[in-house]
Amino acid sequence: MTKLPRQILRLIDTAVSAQKNAYCPYSRYPVGAAVLTDGGRIFAGTNVENASYGLSLCAERVAIFNAITRRQTGLKAICVVASLAKPCGACRQVMFEFSTKDTLLYLVSLNPNNRRQSITRTTVHKMLPAAFDPLASGLLAANPKNLLRNRQKRR
Ligand code: THU
């Protein structure tokens, strides 16, 4: 891959650090995530498991919900770090909600010594073809990004 922009390197570093904070005593599968928002801010997330397994949350959703809680309006890029970085289907759908066709997805797979192994760049839309689309379904009248902007105005 060609030289990555500084903001993207920061995004990757944030996800790598977040992976170290994973709470995953059941799966022992730490995942880190970070999102770069339209406003140029970066938010982190890690997987948080629970003794009642179904209550566990993936790193990607924690990072996205963190950004949304801070009133961010859309995602420019997302990074996922794991031994095999492949977002689950549920997370892909949540990513889709706040993405455009240009939202980049960096998948960073690390080897057991946590040395960077491979970085793949794709897009959220490519990773979820035929997504359940809030616009195509008629559930949202406007672009979801505009909806998030409206949310700011309603304050
Ligand atoms: N996990 C994530 O955090 N993100 C993914 O994309 C895939 C799976 C977590 C959920 C669970 O805590 C552990 O990895 C093993 O499935």
Q: Tell me what pLDDT residue 103 has.
A: 98
- Mean pLDDT, residues 34-43 taken together: 97
Task: Tell me the average pLDDT across 118-142.
Answer: 92
Question: Residues 20, 30: contact at Cβ < 8 Å?
Answer: yes
Rounded to an integer, the average pLDDT of 40-60 is 98
Q: Give the confidence band of 125 by pLDDT, cuts at 50, 70, 90.
A: very high
The arithmetic mean of pLDDT across residues 99-113, rounded, is 92
Is the model more confident about 53 or about 155? 53
pLDDT beyond 80 at 153: no
> What is the distance in A from the centroid of ligand 1 to the CA of 85?
9
CA of 27 to the centre of ligand 1 (A): 8
pLDDT value at residue 33:
98
Ligand 1 geometric centre to CA of 152 (Å): 31
Mean local confidence (pLDDT), 88-115: 92
Model pTM above 0.85 = yes
Among protein residues, the one whose CA lies closest to atom 13 of ligand 1? 29
Q: What is the CATH number of domain 6-154?
A: 3.40.140.10
Beta pairing class for 116-123 and 104-110: antiparallel
How much distance in Å is there from the Cα of 58 to the middle of ligand 1? 5
Ligand 1 atom having least distance to the Cα of 85: 6
| Chain center to CA of 26 | 22
CA-proximal residue: ligand 1, atom 2 (nearest): 58
Q: What is the pLDDT of residue 155?
A: 45
What residue ranges do the domains of the chain occupy? 6-154
Q: What string of DSSP letters covers the chain?
A: -PPPPHHHHHHHHHHHHHHTT-B-TTT----EEEEEETTS-EEEEE-B--SSGGG-B-HHHHHHHHHHHTT---EEEEEEEETT----HHHHHHHHHT--TT-EEEEEEE-TT--EEEEEEEEHHHHSTT---TTTTTS-SS-HHHHHHHHHHH-
pLDDT for the residue numbered 113: 72
* Residue 117 beta carbon below 6 angstroms from any ligand 1 atom: no
Count of beta carbons in the 10 Å neighbourhood of residue 28: 8
Is residue 23 predicted with pLDDT exceeding 60?
yes
Q: Give the mean pLDDT of 88-98.
A: 97
Q: Out of 60, 68, 76, 95, pick the active-site residue.
A: 60
Model pLDDT, residue 140: 84
79 Cβ closer than 6 Å to some ligand 1 atom: no
Indicate if the alpha-carbon torsion angle 123, 78, 75, 48 is positive or negative. positive
